[in-house]
Amino acid sequence: MADRKKCKAQVTSQIKLTEDIYSMWIKFPKNTDISVAVPGQFISMYCHDGSRMLPRPISICQINTNDNMLRVVYRTVGKGTKEFSMLGAGSTIDIIAPLGNGFIIDTDIFKNALLIGGGIGIPPMLELAKKLRENGSESVKVVLGYRDGTLFLKDEFEPYADVYVSTEDGSSGIKGNTIDVINEYGIEADIIYACGPLPMLRGIKVLAKERGIKAQLSLEERMACGIGACLGCVCNSKEKDEHSNVKNKRICKDGPVFDSEEIIF
């Protein structure tokens, strides 16, 4: 992937989805080609406050190539994302995009897909569901795991997939986690795509191995540079990294999406 440069993009709209989750559409200048973006990649967003030098990595939720726009859906967890949540239409923001390696789609081989999103790992699965449908998947099933009944984005998946829900408090769908939903409904597929917290991804890796099917996992991790230079976000891997010559992978540069058999939890 070619090196990306920082650009000044414009917020076209922002809405609050839940108490702490926001949806933002961003329009990029002509010299930043968003048509190369794929599901599973992320962008690095810079704060206006100079005391917060490091960018915040946020997954891409939707891609609008016609208007050179991206959508991000993010949770406010600190001062940086709180600052982003205050931006309105017309505001500008420095961004590097797109970054990382996304999901690999091959609907000729894998015709029945299962997408699993947990918490803030839900947004990047939306564009993936859309792309799978556009590329001719015979079946797309999505399992979404929430803390409670604030089912953000659920309705937006329904044009592209059969949607199943789990909630930790049992207020909607199956009480439990995403694996409980898969077992309860006997959901089957020939490939799994997933993004969410580490315990969920560990369970999905085991599930995929038991079923003998492929799984692509998008890892959530705090990042510093976002471009693979600082080695601040690494995970254990089976093979040596050419950059560091140890059995680690840089989540921002080599990922965030990995084959489940490539990484070690």
Residues 6+ apart with CB under 8 A from 88: 11, 14
H/E element, 179: helix 178-185
Residues 6+ apart with CB under 8 A from 72: 23, 24, 26, 43, 45, 58, 59, 60, 61, 123
- Check whether the bond before 199 is cis (ω within 30° of 0): no
In tens, the pLDDT along 194-239 reads: 999 999 999 999 999 999 999 999 997 555 555 555 555 666 666 6
Q: What is the pLDDT of residue 115?
A: 98
Closest CA to 225 of 64, 88, 67, 42: 42
Q: Please list the rounded mean pLDDT of every run of 10 residues in the chain (265 residues).
A: 80 98 97 95 92 90 98 96 97 96 95 97 98 97 97 98 98 97 97 96 96 94 57 64 68 82 83
Q: What is the pLDDT of residue 233?
A: 65
- Could you count the other beta carbons within 10 Å of the beta carbon of residue 168? 13
The answer to whether 252 and 57 have CB atoms below 8 angstroms apart is: yes
At 75, which amino acid appears? R
In tens, the pLDDT along 87-118 reads: 999 999 999 999 999 999 999 999 999 999 99
Q: What is the pLDDT of residue 74?
A: 97
Domain 112-220, CATH class in plain words: alpha beta
Residue 148: helix, strand or coil by DSSP?
coil
Q: Does domain 221-257 have CATH number 3.40.50.720?
A: no
Q: What is the pLDDT of residue 216?
A: 98
Q: What is the pLDDT of residue 53?
A: 82
Residue-wise over 203-216: b if at least 16 C-beta within 10 A, else e? bbbebbeeeebbbb
Q: What is the pLDDT of residue 1?
A: 42
Q: Where are the domains of the chain?
A: 7-99, 112-220, 221-257
pTM: 0.92
Fold observed for domain 7-99: Elongation Factor Tu (Ef-tu); domain 3 (2.40.30)
